[in-house]
Chains A and B, each alone.
Chain A
Amino acid sequence: EPEVTQTPSHQVTQMGQEVILRCVPISNHLYFYWYRQILGQKVEFLVSFYNNEISEKSEIFDDQFSVERPDGSNFTLKIRSTKLEDSAMYFCASRLSQPQHFGDGTRLSIL
């Protein structure tokens, strides 16, 4: 069964550094999402992406965040200058209709 894949599984970065999280959604899907889960908290929506542009973003998704689908297969989340509070699990999801299918996540640790 096709699945969403995310790399790396764990990323350790110094505060203030840029980080790029990568996702390969399911190939025929058209809607793409990033969510995050801070330890002990809920899974929170960050951004949705459709037709090569952001369709919706949450308050969390400020100017430090950006998303891109550079080559029709990868879907990336970039954090320009990481903060300690960016430490979380980041999940990519995609769908054609319903439901959303999630990757296994990238654990981002900011030191």
Chain B
Amino acid sequence: DQQVKQNSPSLSVQEGRISILNCDYTNSMFDYFLWYKKYPAEGPTFLISISSIKDKNEDGRFTVFLNKSAKHLSLHIVPSQPGDSAVYFCAASAATDSWGKLQFGAGTQVVVTP
């Protein structure tokens, strides 16, 4: 089941630069998208979300962009900081699913170097 795909398993970025993480989905019924950050030995921590009625949502250093026609979303982190080094998961839920289960991508390991 590959409804949510993160094709880049890893990303290395210099401190202060922009990190761009990508996510593609196949299910056109998805209407709510989330990004979670995960440190080792911890659970996923919610970062930012976007509803399908929007194409951009911003929260501090984090911005999520949604391109519905391309079934693509991206997370921008500006500027990247060493504490941003973690695994980032894209997740989605469908309007047809009343209970809101999440489908996850495989994750992207981000390493921010000094």
A interface residue numbers (CB < 8 A to B): 4, 6, 31, 33, 35, 41-45, 48, 50, 55-56, 58, 91, 95, 98-105
Contacts and interface: CB of A to CB of B under 8 A. Distances in A.
Contacts of A103: 43
29 contacts: A4-B43, A31-B100, A41-B106, A42-B104, A42-B105, A42-B106, A43-B44, A43-B89, A43-B91, A43-B102, A45-B102, A48-B99, A48-B101, A50-B99, A56-B97, A56-B99, A91-B43, A91-B44, A98-B32, A98-B34, A99-B49, A100-B34, A100-B100, A101-B46, A102-B44, A102-B45, A104-B43, A105-B42, A105-B43
Interface of B: 32, 34, 36, 41-46, 49, 89, 91, 97-107
Contacts, number: 57
Nearest to A59: B1
A31 B97 CA distance: 13
